[in-house]
Amino acid sequence: SKVKANTSSKNTYTYSTSFTKAVIDTYLPFNNPIRTCKELSSEHKQRLEKKVSVWDFSPLNVSHEDLIHCSVIIISQVFSLSEVTLFTTDQLYDFITDLSSIYYNENPYHNFAHAVDVLQCIYYFLCQMGLVPLADGTPNLSRTKSFHILRPRDIFALFIAAIGHDTAHPGVNNAFLINTSAPLALLYNDNSVLESFHAMTLFQLLKKHKFDQVLGGQDSVEYTEFRKLVITTILATDMALHSDYVTRIKEQKERLVDSDPSDWDAARCLEERLLFCSGLIKCADISNVARPFPRTYEWAQILVEEFASQGDLERELGMDVLPMNDRSQIVLEDSQIGFIRFVALGLFESVSDYMQGMNKSELSFPVKYIEQNLSIWQDRKQEHIESNHHTLVHDRRHNENTQSTTTTVVGSSYQKEDTDSHSDSTATSASEDNSDYHTQAVDAIGSKPDYNLPKMPAVAMTSLSHPNNVYPTKESPDFDHVSEWEHRESSGPVYCQCTIQ
C-alpha cells in the first residue's frame, strides 16, 4: 500500500510538471538565447548606481545588458541589511539574465524595460522611506513605523515581485484572452489571467535557480512568507481589482492613526504588510504618469502603441475593437488625462496619505509630479482644440449628417469650458517652480519623442502563424496592421487605459 501511494504521488508530480512545462513552452518566447553580461568597470558601475538613485530614471534607450546590471545593483542593496539570506552576485546575474530572456522585448510596453522601471520605482520609494540604502552612497537610512511592517527579507521579496511581475507578457490584456477563450483564460477561470500566469512562470524560474533551497526549502517559514508576498503583490497589479485596493489602502491609513505596528501580533503584521506592499507595487506599475514629463511622454506613446497593436490584432480576428485600442481613434492627450484623473491620482494620493499616517511624507512627491503632468496634458489638449477648431467643427457636422450610429467610449467627455476653467485655476495657483517645470518639460520633448517606437505588430500577433493557433483569423485586405501610430486630433471623449495595465 505504501509503495502504491508513493507511485501515485510520483505520477501526480510527473503530470503536474509536464502540464506546467507545456504551458510555459506555449507562452514563453521561442529559442531565446541566454545572454551573458560583461564584468562592470568601476566607472561604469558608478554611472549606473547614480542612474538608479534618482527619480528621473528611464530604462528606455538603455542597453539590455545595462538593464540587467541596474537590476542586480538595486536588488543587491538589500543584502547590506540584516535578516536577509545572501545570494551571490553570480546567482543574481544568472537569475536576472534568465528572467530578462523570457520577457517579450518586442512588446512596445510590457517588456523587460518596464519591469526594470517598476523595480527602480519601488527601490526609490523605499530609499525615500529610509529602508534601503541609496546605491550612489547618499546616506538616507532611518527607522520608521514602516520598518516594523516591512522587514528586510520582505523588501527582497518585493524586489523579486517587481522585476518578475509581467514575466512573459504576451502584449495583450486579460479581456482579449478571455474573449478569445485562450488556454490561459480557461486555465485560470477568467480571473487575473495574466497576473496568475506571471506568478506561476516566475516561480518556475525561481525554482530553476534554487531560490527555494537558498531560502530554507519549500517548507520553511522564510520561503513560505517569500512566496506569499510575491504572489499577492503580483496579483494586486490586476487593474480589475484597482478600486478595491484603493479603498483598502484608505482604510489601512485610518487603522494606523492610533496604532503602533510594533504592538501588532504576527497575523496582523502579515495582513498589513501584504496590503502595504501591494499598494507600492501598484503605484510602481503605473509610475510612468508620475515621472518627470519627458519620461511620462515617452511611456505614454509606447503604451498607446501597445493598445493599438492589440486593436489591430482584434480587427484582424474579426473582433470588436474598443476606441481605446483603435488606431484611428486614439488621442494621446485624452488617454493620459482620463487615466490620471480616474485611476492614477486617487491611488497615489491614498498611498501618500498612508505614509503621512506613518509619520512619513516622502511619497508625496509623485502626487505633485502627477498634478503637474496633468496640467501639461490639459494644456496640450487645449492647444490642439484651438488650432484645429474649425476643422473639428466641420468634421463633427459632417459625421452628424452621415452617421446614424454612436460610439461607446471608456471615460468621460470634457467640455471646452471645463478645460478652460481648470487651466485658469491651475495657472492661478501654480508656483514659479511649477511654471519652470512646465516650460522645461515642453522644451525637453520637442515635437518628437526621445524613444523610437517599435514597429507593428505586437509579439502577440505571432500567434496567428503558430501551428497550434487557437484564434480564428479574418482576412481583411483593406487593413494594413503595420502602419505606424500617428497623432489624432481630440474630438472630446477620453479613452481611459485603465483596463489594460
Beta-carbon contacts of 363 under 8 Å, excluding residues fewer than 6 positions away, are 125, 128, 129, 348, 351, 352, 355
Please tell me the predicted confidence (pLDDT) of residue 211: 95
- Give CA 359 to chain center in angstroms: 28
112 is in an annotated binding site: yes
Tell which residue, 211, 191, 193, has the closest CA to residue 202. Answer: 211
Q: What is the amino acid identity at position 13?
A: Y
Q: Is the pTM of this model over 0.85?
A: no
Burial class for 60, CB neighbours closer than 10 Å (0-12, 13-18, 19+)? middle
With the C-alpha atoms ordered 264, 129, 274, 74, is the resulting torsion angle positive or negative? Answer: negative
User: What is the grid cell recorded at 395?
Assistant: 468634421
| Euclidean distance between CA atoms 66 and 331, whole angstroms | 33
Query: Where does residue 472 fall: left (phi above 0), alpha (psi -120 to 50 degrees), or beta otherwise?
Result: beta
Is residue 413 classed as helix, strand or coil in its secondary structure? Answer: strand
64 is in an annotated binding site: no
401 is in an annotated binding site: no
Please tell me the predicted confidence (pLDDT) of residue 85: 77
- Active centre residues (catalytic): 110
113 is in an annotated binding site: yes
336 is in an annotated binding site: yes
Q: Which domains does the chain have, with CATH numbers?
A: 3-383 (1.10.1300.10)
Beta-carbon contacts of 19 under 8 Å, excluding residues fewer than 6 positions away, are none
User: What is the grid cell recorded at 213?
Assistant: 533551497
Instruction: Note down pLDDT in tens along the chain; length 501 residues.
Output: 444 444 444 454 454 566 677 777 777 765 455 556 778 899 999 999 999 999 999 999 899 999 999 999 999 999 988 778 778 889 999 999 999 999 999 999 999 999 999 999 999 999 998 889 999 988 776 655 556 688 999 999 999 999 999 999 999 999 999 999 999 999 999 999 999 999 999 999 999 999 999 999 999 999 999 999 999 999 999 999 999 999 999 998 888 777 777 788 889 999 999 999 999 999 999 999 999 999 999 999 999 999 999 999 999 999 999 999 999 999 999 999 999 999 999 999 999 988 876 655 567 899 999 999 999 999 999 988 877 765 655 666 666 665 544 333 333 333 333 434 443 443 344 455 666 777 777 676 664 444 444 443 444 433 443 444 444 444 444 434 333 444 444 443 333 444 433
Please tell me the predicted confidence (pLDDT) of residue 412: 32
CA 20 vs CA 31, 149, 200, 205: distances in Å:
18, 34, 9, 12
Please tell me the predicted confidence (pLDDT) of residue 446: 61
Please tell me the predicted confidence (pLDDT) of residue 286: 98
User: What is the grid cell recorded at 152?
Assistant: 528586510
Maximum CA pair distance of the chain? 85
Please tell me the predicted confidence (pLDDT) of residue 17: 61
Q: DSSP string spanning 431-458?
A: -HHHHHHHHHHHHHHTTS-SSPPPPSS-
114 is in an annotated binding site: yes
Asked if the peptide bond before residue 457 counts as cis, ω within 30 degrees of 0, the response is: yes
Buried b (16+ CB within 10 A) or exposed e, 125-152: bbbbbbbbbbbeeeebeeebbbbbbbbb
- What radius of gyration do the chain's Cα atoms show? 24
165 is in an annotated binding site: yes
